[in-house]
Amino acid sequence: MAKTTWKSGTMLFPVPPVMVTCGTMEKANVLTIAWTGIINSEPPMTYISVRPSRFSHKIISETKEFVINIANLPLAKACDFCGVKSGKSTDKFKEMGLELEPCKNIKTPMLKDAPVSLECKVVGVKSFGTHDMFLAEILAVNVDDKYIEEDGRLAIEKAGLLAFAHGRYYTLGRDLGAFGFSVDKTKENKTKPRKSKFMEILKIEEKIKDGTLKIKEKKPSLQRIIKNKKQSAKKNSSKFAGNKKNAKPHGKKLNAKPTK
């Protein structure tokens, strides 16, 4: 397999398109940033790279705080809009119907509809030329309750997270297995799945490529069959009751004359 060598560039894909809020509840702004990530565990540290020309750059420089709101499928349009429009001349919250709510540790608000919002405090700024990197400590993580399972697990795979690659947006799809699946030898844990589906997916991909994949007709599950039978029985019962109500009485009529 041959590779074509290009000049150096920012072609590291995919990256997370996040919606960064800044300012205060009374005067806030939001911009979309794809250059962000985690750089330390204890304390948890992150960064965002922002062009000095951006309207939010001055706000973050003054307040020394911001919120990283992770974007998902329902926020895809707003995420793109907030990346091409400037808060200097556009009320992005009004245009996209975005709601704000206060954070616990900083004055900057977070997006109400974001599945996860990270409260960040700037601890340093480094200029690299086209962008300034705001180094920040993550003070708190706010998670939408609907993505938390009964056992406390964060089911973030249900959020439809966005990914950005080579100028296009995508949503995360197939589950290949949890961290450590390559060496895992334990039995499958249904509440915290870790086993890999990697080989299974590879086989499917090979069959699709070779044109040998046969799509089997799905058989109805036992629960579905029982449900259909119950619905059918209920329907017939209601129909029978209706017919019985409107049916003419059998036997002798009340006003009929007795036979001789």
pLDDT digits (tens, 9 = 90+) for 111-124: 999 999 999 999 99
Query: Can you give the pLDDT at residue 177?
Result: 74
C-alpha count within 13 angstroms, C-beta hemisphere, residue 205:
7
pTM summary value: 0.73
Give the whole-number percent of the chain exceeding pLDDT 90: 63
Query: Can you give the pLDDT at residue 228?
Result: 72
Cα 91 from Cα 19, distance rounded (Å): 15
**pLDDT tens-digit readout, 22-39:** 999 999 999 999 999 999
Residue 237 has pLDDT above 90, yes or no: no
Look over the chain and give the mean of its residue pLDDT values, rounded to a whole number: 84
The answer to whether residues 48 and 30 touch, using CB atoms and an 8 Å cutoff, is no
> Span 65-87, mean pLDDT?
96
Q: CA nearest 48: which of 72, 19, 26, 23?
A: 19
Question: Residue 195: is it exposed, middle or buried by C-beta count within 10 angstroms (0-12/13-18/19+)?
Answer: middle
**Looking at per-residue confidence, does 203 or 8 come out higher?**
8
**Looking at per-residue confidence, does 104 or 230 come out higher?**
104
Which of 43-47, 51-55, 132-136, 221-225 comes out lowest in average pLDDT? Answer: 221-225
**pLDDT tens-digit readout, 84-134:** 999 999 999 999 999 999 999 999 999 999 999 999 999 999 999 999 999
**pLDDT tens-digit readout, 169-197:** 999 877 777 777 777 766 655 555 555 56
In order of start, what are the domains of the chain with their CATH numbers? 18-171 (2.30.110.10), 174-213 (no CATH)
String of DSSP letters for the chain: --------------B--EEEEEE-SSSEEEEEE--EEEEETTTTEEEEEE-TTSHHHHHHHHH-EEEEEE-BGGGHHHHHHHHHS-TTT--HHHHHT--EE--SSSSS-EETT-SEEEEEEEEEEEE-SS-EEEEEEEEEEEE-GGGB-TTS-B-GGGS-BEEEETTEEEE-------TTTTT--SPP-SSS-----HHHHHHHHHHHHHT----PPPPPPHHHHHHHHHHHHHHHHHHHHHHHHHSPPPS--TTPPPP-
Query: Can you give the pLDDT at residue 194?
Result: 54
Query: Can you give the pLDDT at residue 246?
Result: 54
Residue 216 has pLDDT above 50, yes or no: yes
